[in-house]
């Protein structure tokens, strides 16, 4: 018998994919046969002629690479899919998801099911988080961003909406002050209402980092050099718009950064190249001088040519930094460490009925 755990959240970009992978790897390390399934995808990816979801493919390859490619994510959220469901009803889509899940879950003791967006996402298709949990017979693990009063209120609402399907909550990106409250009065308040807290994860700079590759894809920007450094992680963003003396001092104080500056500011670009910089974003679609390109190649720092002005580029970066993507190996390893330290895996196993040893479920 397969035990499904559905990962959903009260908000978008709370770390559902990273949570799914970290929990799946922990269970696999304990000897369980673990699989991954994502009913609705948002990031189309073509693999061997099959269109699937990018995160679903990444996670499935690490947990159960033998799973059928066409079963791990049977539907992608598009306007065409929504129009079809509104016109013809969503019964066919629900049946397709249930059939795909059965194929992906074959011979698996545990299935990690990935949600999309917040609890309400998919409601037009009849596939909100409560509906998916009911369709697949899954218990739902709810993620909440931070541990403030507003997040706790959202968890209370999620508990009401999910009913008996609600398994417990993990609070993510928690500041020290909120962490103290979640270990005291707020924890007692939730537990008195039957809400289990499976873990409180502190805010972590590495997990919130952005890879150079992801930054280039999102802007979008043209890579001018140093392709080998695309998987480097950016922890900070600095706008280079000051005098070169002030900029040089500031650049030396901030490591693991990307510097955003005009393509015509060779003085700031050179200053950035002399410090611990992961990438330089050149705005305004202005190519740098050959001297800058040569120096960047020497020190291995990618130059990204952005098509927009500095303000528009910064706005796009702000959209990106609120997301928590799962593709980088360093993030996965960091998540595994944090989950081992802060998550009660035993309580999660009990909530989904994993009482027996691996192979006896």
Task: Indicate whether 119 belongs to any domain.
Answer: yes
- Whether 149 and 131 map to the same domain: the answer is yes
The CATH code of the domain that includes 233 is 3.40.1390.20
- C-beta neighbour count of 306 within 10 angstroms: 24
Amino acid 356: pLDDT: 65
* Domain span at 274: 210-321
Say if 356 falls within a structural domain. no
Residue 51 belongs to domain with CATH number: 3.40.50.300
Residues 304 and 337 in one domain: no
Q: pLDDT band for position 322 (50/70/90)?
A: low
Average pLDDT of 189-217?
92
Q: Is 4 helix (H, G, I), strand (E, B) or coil?
A: strand
Do residue 41 and residue 171 come from a single domain? yes
pLDDT at 137 > cutoff 60: yes
* 210 burial type by CB count under 10 A (0-12 exposed, 13-18 middle, 19+ buried): buried
How sure is the predictor about 338, in pLDDT bands with cuts at 50, 70 and 90? very high
Q: Is residue 295 part of a domain?
A: yes
Do 111 and 82 have their domain in common?
Answer: yes
Predicted confidence at residue 88, as pLDDT, reads 78
Rounded Cα distance, 189 and 211, in Å: 39
pLDDT digit string (tens) for 275-307? 999 999 999 999 999 999 999 999 999 999 999
Tell whether 358 is covered by a domain. Answer: no
* pLDDT at residue 357 in the model: 65
Residue 163 has pLDDT above 90, yes or no: yes
- Together in a domain, 192 and 263: no
Shared domain check, 82 and 181? yes
Q: What is the pTM of this model?
A: 0.86
9-36 CB burial, b ≥16 within 10 A, e <16:
bbeeebbbbbbbbbbbbbbbeeebbbbb
163/101 same-domain check? yes
Domain count for the chain: 2
Whether 360 is covered by a domain: the verdict is no
Q: Which of 208, 224, 182 is nearest to 317 (CA)?
A: 208
3-state secondary structure of 199: strand
Do 130 and 199 reside in the same domain of the chain? yes
**113 belongs to a structural domain:** yes
Look at residue 180 in the predicted model and tell me its pLDDT.
83
Residue 245: predicted pLDDT? 84
Whether residue 175 sits in one domain with residue 283: no
Residue 361 is assigned to a structural domain of this protein: no
- Is a pLDDT exceeding 80 seen at residue 255? yes
Confidence of residue 325 (pLDDT cuts 50, 70, 90): low
- Long-range contacts (CB closer than 8 Å, 24 or more residues apart) made by 81-87: 81/125, 82/124, 82/125, 85/124, 85/125, 85/126, 86/124
Do 198 and 281 lie in one domain? The reply is no
Shared-domain flag, residues 73 and 193: yes
Q: Residues 154, 275: one domain?
A: no
- Does residue 18 form part of some domain? yes
Greater confidence, 228 or 323? 228
């Amino acid at each position: 018998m397969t035990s499904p755990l559905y990962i959903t959240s009260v908000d978008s970009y709370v770390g559902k994919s990273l949570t799914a992978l970290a929990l799946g790897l922990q269970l696999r390390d304990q000897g369980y046969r673990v699989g991954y399934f994502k009913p609705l995808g948002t990031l189309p990816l073509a693999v061997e002629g099959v269109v699937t979801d990018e995160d679903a493919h990444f996670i499935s390859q690490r947990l159960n690479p033998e799973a059928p490619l066409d079963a791990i994510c049977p539907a992608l959220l598009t306007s065409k899919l929504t129009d079809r469901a509104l016109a013809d009803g969503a019964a066919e889509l629900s049946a397709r998801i249930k059939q795909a899940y059965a194929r992906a879950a074959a011979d698996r003791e545990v299935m990690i099911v990935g949600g999309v967006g917040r609890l309400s996402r998919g409601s037009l298709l009849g596939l909100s988080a409560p509906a998916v949990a009911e369709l697949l017979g899954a218990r739902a693990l709810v993620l909440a961003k931070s541990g403030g009063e507003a997040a706790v209120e959202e968890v209370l609402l999620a508990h009401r909406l999910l009913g008996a399907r609600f398994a417990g909550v993990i609070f993510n990106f928690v500041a020290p002050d909120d962490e103290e409250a979640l270990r005291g009065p707020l924890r007692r308040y939730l537990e008195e209402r039957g809400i289990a807290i499976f873990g409180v994860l502190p805010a972590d700079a590495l997990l919130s980092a952005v890879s150079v590759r992801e930054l280039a894809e999102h802007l979008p920007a043209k890579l001018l050099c140093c392709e080998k450094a695309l998987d480097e992680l950016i922890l900070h963003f600095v706008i280079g718009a000051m005098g070169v003396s002030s900029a040089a001092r500031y650049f030396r104080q901030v490591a693991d950064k990307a510097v955003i500056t005009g393509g015509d500011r060779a003085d700031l670009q050179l200053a950035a190249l002399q410090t611990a910089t992961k990438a330089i974003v050149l705005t305004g679609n202005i190519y740098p001088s050959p001297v800058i390109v040569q120096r960047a190649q020497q020190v291995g720092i990618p130059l990204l040519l952005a098509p927009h002005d500095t303000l528009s580029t910064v706005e796009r970066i702000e959209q990106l930094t609120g997301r928590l993507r799962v593709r980088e190996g360093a993030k996965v390893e960091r998540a595994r460490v944090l989950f081992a330290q802060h998550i009660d895996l035993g309580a999660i196993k009990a909530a989904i009925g994993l009482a027996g040893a691996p192979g006896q479920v």
